[in-house]
Structure 1
Amino acid sequence: MSKSVLGSLIAEKHGLTKGEADKIVETMLEGIKSALVSQGQITFVGFGRFHVEERAARQGRNPSTGETVQVAASKVVRFKAGEPLKAAVNQK
């Protein structure tokens, strides 16, 4: 599902214009990004938790040349699904 499709779904379900719904989606995504930058995590009860983890520097390998390269340390965003989401996805 893309941002556009999500905006269309919100617009249809709540009687909004596509533009209004797109602004809501964009505001929500900006809020998630802001919380991850400032607090390192955001939790949606019943859905899951986004959190930032540190990835250590490591040795990598260029697949085309086989040359060893140094991969710098970085931060990555992880997602851990909540139990209701897991149950919904695994429902048959």
Structure 2
Amino acid sequence: MNKSELVAEIQKNLGDASKAEAEKALSAVLSSIKSAVKKAGKEVKLRDKDSKDAVAIQLVGFGTFSVGKRSARSGINPLTKEPIKIKAAKTVKFKAGAGLKDLL
């Protein structure tokens, strides 16, 4: 499913909403998730590496978005086969909730 199909599905579920209203609703939800993840990403700096990930947003029955740390590591350049150093980075994690898992 792509974004336009998701907008159509939201429009269908809302009933009498227009496509523009459905797209606006989706954009508002995605924007809110992005800002919560960004805020949680700043919290990760304050935590030591042994603590849990910073929870950005938790939707009971759907899942949890969180920000975690990925430590620096060595890798191999696939073109030249030379070893390279990969910097530490933050990453977004999603863990499906029980309600979503039960659908599968």
TM-score, length basis structure 2: 0.80
Q: Is the 8 A contact 1:3 1:25 kept in 2?
A: no
Residue 60 of structure 1 aligns with an amino acid whose one-letter code is G
- Give the CA RMSD over aligned residues: 1.1
1:58-79 deviations in whole A, cap 9, x for unaligned?
1110112111111111111011
CA distance in 1, matches of 2:27, 2:84: 37
Please list every run of 5 or more consecutive structure 2 residues that lacks an aligned counterpart in the other structure: 41-53
In the alignment, is residue 5 of structure 1 matched against residue 5 of structure 2?
yes
CA offsets per residue over residues 38-87 of structure 1, 9 Å max, x none?
13410000111010001111111011211111111111101111112111
Give percent identity, aligned residues only. Answer: 43
> Which portions of structure 1, spanning 4 or more consecutive aligned residues, are displaced by more than 3 angstroms?
none
Q: Distance in 2 between matches of 1:47 and 1:12?
A: 20
Match of 1:23 in 2: 24
Matched pairs, number: 89
Alignment pair present for 1:61 and 2:76 = yes
Normalised to the residue count of structure 1, the TM-score between the two structures is 0.89
Check whether the contact 1:54–1:73 (CA below 8 A) recurs between aligned residues. yes
Gaps of 5+ in 1: none
